Amino acid sequence: MKIKAVYPGSFDPITNGHIYIAERAAAIFDEVIVSVLVNERKNAAFTVKERCEMAKESLNHIQNISIDSFNGLLVDYVRHIGASVIIRGLRAMSDFEYEFQMALMNRRLAPEIETFFIVTDPKYSYVSSSSVREIFHFGGSVEGVVPDYVLEKLKAHYH
Ligand code: ADP
């Protein structure tokens, strides 16, 4: 049986930390769908289309990864596309509480879907999309933290 896993997130923008998690997931599962959350309430820096494009460019070296977007309840989306696993990345204890709560809630909603946690590489443990946006905005260097393609998009967006 082929196992399809969804890696959901805001990816605003995708960072090397996200890419690391996606690569490891792709080595375990037959198919990984990196799916950008369409969240109207959260004011994102990049549009869903831009976020998908950046994810596509950054992950096109991995054959069994595809990019999609979704709105509404995550478990409904996971069921709808015939996946059975939700991938989430863990950076630190601070991620754990939120992720644990979400995993339990999702299990309550959909007991057949498993949440699978992948621990980050220590070199990305402090990397988040929001810190990338903030550092870049104030002129700091985000080289090595995001792929070159994303760096160019950040330049176009903020300068
Ligand atoms: P969300 O808004 O759903 O938290 P993010 O795009 O911020 O979306 O993150 C998506 C997932 O990727 C989350 O599970 C988050 O913990 C994980 N993640 C984010 N940054 C990193 C990183 N540097 N290393 C590992 N996992 C990460």
What is the reported pTM? 0.96
Residue 158 scores a pLDDT above 90: no
Q: What is the pLDDT of residues 29-68, one digit of tens each?
A: 999 999 999 987 668 899 999 999 999 999 999 999 999 9
Is 18 considered catalytic here? Answer: yes
Residue 159 scores a pLDDT above 80: no
Is 42 considered catalytic here? Answer: yes
pLDDT attached to residue 43: 82
pLDDT attached to residue 94: 85
Q: How far is the C-alpha of 33 from the C-alpha of 81, rounded, in Å?
A: 10
**Ligand 1 within 6 A of 58 CB?**
no
Closest ligand 1 atom, CA of 11?
Answer: 6
Q: What are the percentages of helix, strand and coil residues in the chain, rounded to 5?
A: 45, 20, 35
d(CA 56, ligand 1 centre) in Å: 17
Is 66 considered catalytic here? Answer: no
Q: How far is the C-alpha of 71 from the C-alpha of 89, rounded, in Å?
A: 20
**Ligand 1 within 6 A of 129 CB?**
yes
Q: How far is the C-alpha of 88 from the C-alpha of 117, rounded, in Å?
A: 5
Q: What is the pLDDT of residues 81-139, one digit of tens each?
A: 999 999 999 998 889 999 999 999 999 999 999 999 999 999 999 999 999 999 999 99
Catalytic position from the list 10, 35, 58, 129: 129
